[in-house]
Copies of this chain bind each other. A is one copy, B any other.
Amino acid sequence: MVLLFASPDDDPVAWTRALRRRLPELEIRVYPDLGDPEAIEAALVWSPPPGLLAALPRLRVILSLGAGVDRLLEDPTLPPEVPICRMVDPSLTRSMAEFVLLHVLRYHRFLDVYEEQQRRAQWRLLLPRPPEATVVGIMGLGELGTAAANLLRGHGFSVKGWSRTRKTLEGVKTYAGRDELDAFLADLSILVCLLPLTPETRGILDRGLFARLPEGARLVNLARGGHLVEEDLLEALESGRLAHATLDVFAREPLPADHPFWRHPKITVTPHAAAYSLPESGAEVVAENLRRLRAGRPLLHLVDRARGY
């Protein structure tokens, strides 16, 4: 079988090595060296150039290197019949949960305030609170949201979760659908967005949502730039409705150098760094799906195109 690897952010050498170890007979081609497109049956991709996948006439499966497939689905030339699999991989899940814990701890222990004070050489202690006093709300309770919620709960934080359909999670107060969104938001210290980007969730982090958070809440968006209405965030930071925001994802990536987020004193910008599939563990997931494809067995982590994830 021939697999095409195409990603601007992942290391083709490490992925090739990790895949070969599991599937020695697999032929791996690295974009842009396609060779004969007719031979390619599988594509392992992150942000492939629009039209690339449509140019592979015998493609049988699209394997995403990322957990979210919104950018794939936005490509109007995407072959409509080819199944798409999300990346669900323990290293990716672990690195996301870890990044959530880091940013929750950072706000819980007032590092954003201390950084601001440092700029003014101001020494002022804010008494630490116990973690139970910090209420963290996770939007999105899939693979990643569930792992993050469990890690936070283990650390002692008060955790709430919101999702499209009802989920049950031990020790986490869960809310479902637009009807319960207000109750979910009402007492959050920190809101963490881990939603898939779909037509339903696009622009969900907007003025109306911010108005339902307590004054001085913090926002952490690790999902997609499309979830956030940028002007509404700037307004909420200006008014004090939100005290600070950490953004890892943006409508345009890389974030343009002249974008106001870079220089905003109440915004921390990270370069889409929250979660990442390490080749050593991600290759196992990919290899398993290729084995299944070859054997005609059902694929894992199939995307429902209508739902968007």
**Could you list which residues of chain A lie within 8 angstroms of chain B, going by C-beta atoms?**
9, 11, 91, 94-95, 98-99, 101-102, 105-106, 109-111, 114-115, 117-118, 121-128, 130-131, 155, 253-255, 257-259, 262-263, 268-273, 275-276, 278
Residue of B nearest to A118 (CB): B269
Can you list 29 A-B contacts (CB < 8 A)?
A: A9-B125, A11-B127, A91-B130, A94-B130, A98-B105, A98-B109, A98-B155, A102-B105, A102-B106, A102-B109, A102-B111, A109-B273, A111-B270, A114-B269, A117-B271, A118-B262, A118-B268, A118-B269, A121-B257, A121-B258, A121-B259, A122-B257, A123-B254, A123-B255, A123-B271, A127-B276, A128-B273, A128-B275, A128-B278
CA distance A53 to B130 in the complex (A): 32
CA distance A138 to B99 in the complex (A): 22
Chain B residues with CB under 8 A of A258: 121
Chain B residues with CB under 8 A of A114: 268-271, 273
A102-B105, A121-B263, A262-B118 known; A126-B273 Cβ under 8 A: yes
Residue of B nearest to A254 (CB): B123
CA distance A275 to B127 in the complex (A): 9
A102-B111, A105-B101 known; A125-B263 Cβ under 8 A: no
Q: Do B115 and A268 have beta carbons less than 8 Å apart?
A: yes
Of B124, B131, B272, the contact of A271 (CB 8 Å cutoff):
B124
Q: Do A262 and B121 have beta carbons less than 8 Å apart?
A: yes
Chain B residues with CB under 8 A of A254: 123
**Which of A111, A126, A276 is packed against the most chain B CB atoms within 10 Å?**
A111
Q: How near does chain B come to A161, taking the closest CB pair, in angstroms?
A: 22
CA distance A119 to B110 in the complex (A): 20
CA distance A121 to B250 in the complex (A): 14
CA distance A121 to B259 in the complex (A): 9
**Which of A123, A127, A254 is packed against the most chain B CB atoms within 10 Å?**
A123
Residue of B nearest to A263 (CB): B121
Chain B residues with CB under 8 A of A253: 123
CA distance A289 to B276 in the complex (A): 51
Of B110, B130, B272, the contact of A278 (CB 8 Å cutoff):
B130
Q: How near does chain B come to A14, taking the closest CB pair, in angstroms?
A: 9
Chain B residues with CB under 8 A of A125: 9, 271-273
A105-B105, A254-B123, A263-B121 known; A95-B270 Cβ under 8 A: no
CA distance A217 to B65 in the complex (A): 31
Chain B residues with CB under 8 A of A115: 268
**Which of A94, A114, A272, A273 is packed against the most chain B CB atoms within 10 Å?**
A273
